[in-house]
Amino acid sequence: MSDRRRQCDDNQNDSIGAKLVKAITLGAAVGLGAFLGYQLYKHLTAEEVEKIPITNATFSDKSLDCSICLESFNYDDKLKVLPCNHKYHAECIIQWVEKNPSCPQCRRSC
């Protein structure tokens, strides 16, 4: 029996549950791929960045720098954390995305 014929016979012998699991798995994989693709290619806008809540820098942030202005974060500085988890001074990142639609560090469109 050919491989193609054996594959068809195997598909016909699958239970409804097995077919359903295969369909859900395929659908989930396609959905995840579409979501990730959207996240990678969606451009960041100033309006979206303004909606990101402002957080205050902590003592652990003091060892980090804003890669836009190149200054170290000071305790209690106003920061924005992008979806890719990179941190910037709130004013710096808003000005950045007005000219560039991606994260300055990873160049990923968040």
Quote the pTM value.
0.58
**pLDDT category, 3, cuts 50, 70, 90?**
low
As a whole number of Å, the end-to-end CA separation of the chain is 51
pLDDT beyond 50 at 36: no
Distance CA 87, CA 61 (A): 9
Give the whole-angstrom CA distance, residue 73 versus residue 62: 5
Across the strands, what pairs with 72? 65
**Cβ–Cβ under 8 Å, residues 82 and 104:** no
Q: What is the pLDDT of residue 67?
A: 94
CATH of 46-99, one of 3.30.43.10, 1.10.260.30, 3.30.70.20, 3.30.40.10: 3.30.40.10
Counting beta carbons within 10 angstroms of the beta carbon of residue 105, is it exposed (0 to 12), middle (13 to 18) or buried (19 or more)? middle
- Band (pLDDT 50/70/90 cuts) for residue 27 is low
Residues of the chain with pLDDT > 70, as a percent, come to: 62
Q: Domain-by-domain residue ranges, the chain?
A: 3-41, 46-99
For 46, list phi and psi in degrees, rounded to 5: -60, -35
DSSP state of 14: S
